[in-house]
């Protein structure tokens, strides 16, 4: 049995609650680092794509899960980041510079979106972000100067130090490193006064403003950071598909990202990653096993969307805390065994704040 209760106030802002957790995360990183040598190239590519989706999901989690600002247009940030990455590489810029431009440029667009959205909340904000996504997709599809006059914009395969990072193991390790960096940055951000302001804004805007939180600045900062992370994910996404069209970043991508944070568990960085892994691996699993289903089911073009809907309904009804919440309950059971009781941590888990679900 592990002693799971707090013994100091410092535990509220510790990166990891237990020192032994460092060993588990180190083992996970080592296992992922060895994956290209253990798995076929196809599965390595799918894992790399899951890492990209996880980066985008973490960015959306900052905005929706921690700040309480619902976005239905996050795919537009990936679109902008992807096109900036493609243009930067075609201009001959090195990979680190192109990734930085995609991140910072998309973050600037996030500021422009955040300013007019300051007075919007709830459903109205969701509709505004959905409209923004449609506008961005239309502009990139019809304004030729944004796509260099090409219907299909090709993305160069960058080389750095003799290693190609646009495909293969190089792309896998690049996506893994950027995901690890993004998670660490976000976890540390949420331990800072800025992160606490995000959470205060989500829980009670009036109370947050009373305590001195600048709501306009905090909302704008949340949009900027979320958009910047989305732009970084979009830059990596561009290398995955290698040929860009605006239709590749439609509203379905935005809804899929939102579903990742809901299924993973709102208010948890771990939940954002778990949701991306779960749904990111679901698509290839459907493609692999639908041939074994009855033709009346497996041949349906809407099978994936129908399954997504069933999964969303299941989590909303039976596990509203998502995968991260379920993991927290399982971990609490084993840590408190054999004295765990079903209602023992009920209030603690029901009122568990986001940083305690790590």
> Can you give the three-state secondary structure of 108-121, one letter per residue?
HHHHHHHCCCCCCC
Is 136 within a domain?
yes
Determine, yes or no, domain membership for 275.
yes
Q: In the predicted model, is pLDDT for residue 117 greater than 60?
A: yes
Contacts of residue 289, Cβ cutoff 8 Å, sequence gap at least 6 = none
Task: Tell me what percent of the residues of the chain surpass a pLDDT of 90.
Answer: 24
Is residue 349 very low, low, confident or very high in pLDDT (cuts 50, 70, 90)? very low
In the predicted model, is pLDDT for residue 323 greater than 70?
Answer: yes
Tell me whether residue 7 is in a domain. Answer: no
Average pLDDT, the chain: 82
Residues contacting 133, CB < 8 A, separation 6+: 72, 73, 74, 75, 76, 251, 254
Instruction: Work out the average pLDDT over 219-228.
Output: 92
* Interval 277-292 mean pLDDT: 81
CA distance 349 to 345: 6
Residue 6: the pLDDT is 65
Range of the domain at 195: 18-305
Rounded average pLDDT over 163-186? 88
pLDDT level of residue 318 (50, 70, 90 thresholds): confident
Instruction: Write down the pLDDT at residue 320.
Output: 83
The pLDDT value given to residue 162: 72
In a domain, 176, yes or no: yes
* pLDDT tens-place string over residues 60-101: 999 998 988 888 889 999 999 999 999 898 888 888 999 999
Q: Is the pTM of this model over 0.85?
A: yes
User: Is the pLDDT score of 55 beyond 50?
Assistant: yes
| pLDDT the model gives residue 184 | 92
φ/ψ (deg, to 5) at 91:
-85, 0
Q: Measured between alpha carbons, how far is 252 from 13 in angstroms, rounded to an integer?
A: 36
Nearest to 292 by CA among 303, 302, 281: 303
Report yes or no on 259 lying in a domain.
Answer: yes
Is 357 among the domain residues? no
- Report whether pLDDT(296) > 70: no
Domains contained in the chain, number: 1
Reported as a pLDDT band with limits 50, 70 and 90, residue 337 is low
**Average pLDDT of 137-145?**
82
**Domain of 252: which CATH number?**
1.10.3470
Burial of residue 118, with CB atoms counted within 10 A of its CB: 0-12 exposed, 13-18 middle, 19 or more buried: middle
Sequence-distant (6+) residues with CB within 8 A of 163 are 170
Residue 185 inside a domain? The answer is yes
Residue 118 belongs to some domain of the structure: yes
């Amino acid at each position: 049995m592990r002693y799971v209760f707090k013994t100091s106030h410092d535990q509220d802002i510790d990166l990891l609650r237990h020192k032994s957790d460092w060993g588990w995360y180190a083992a996970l990183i080592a296992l992922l680092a060895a994956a290209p040598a253990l798995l076929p190239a196809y599965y390595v590519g799918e894992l790399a794509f899951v890492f990209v989706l996880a980066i985008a999901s973490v960015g959306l989690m900052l905005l929706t899960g921690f700040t309480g600002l619902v976005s239905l247009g996050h795919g537009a940030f990936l679109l902008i980041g992807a096109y900036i990455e493609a243009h930067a590489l075609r201009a001959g810029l090195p990979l680190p510079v192109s990734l930085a431009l995609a991140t910072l440029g998309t973050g600037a667009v996030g500021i422009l979106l955040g300013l007019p959205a300051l007075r919007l909340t709830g459903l109205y904000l969701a509709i505004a972000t959905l409209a923004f996504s449609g506008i961005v997709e239309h502009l990139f599809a019809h304004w030729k100067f944004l796509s260099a006059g090409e219907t299909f914009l090709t993305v160069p395969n960058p080389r750095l130090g003799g290693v190609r990072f646009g495909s293969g193991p190089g792309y896998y390790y690049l996506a893994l490193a950027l995901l690890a960096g993004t998670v660490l940055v976000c976890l540390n951000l949420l331990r800072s006064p800025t992160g606490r302001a995000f959470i205060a804004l989500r829980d009670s805007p009036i109370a947050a403003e009373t305590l001195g939180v600048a709501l306009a600045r905090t909302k704008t900062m949340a949009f900027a950071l979320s958009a910047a992370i989305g732009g970084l994910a979009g830059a990596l996404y561009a290398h995955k598909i290698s040929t860009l069209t605006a239709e590749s970043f439609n509203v379905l991508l935005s809804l899929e990202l939102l579903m990742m944070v809901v299924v993973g568990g709102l208010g948890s960085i771990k939940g954002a990653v778990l949701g991306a892994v779960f749904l990111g691996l679901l698509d290839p699993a459907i493609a692999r096993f639908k041939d074994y289903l009855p033709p009346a089911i497996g041949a349906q073009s809407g099978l994936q969307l129908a399954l997504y809907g069933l999964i969303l309904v299941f989590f909303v009804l039976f596990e509203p805390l998502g995968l991260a919440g379920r993991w927290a309950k399982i971990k609490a059971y084993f840590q408190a065994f054999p004295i765990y009781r079903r209602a023992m941590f009920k209030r603690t888990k029901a009122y568990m704040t986001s940083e305690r679900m790590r």
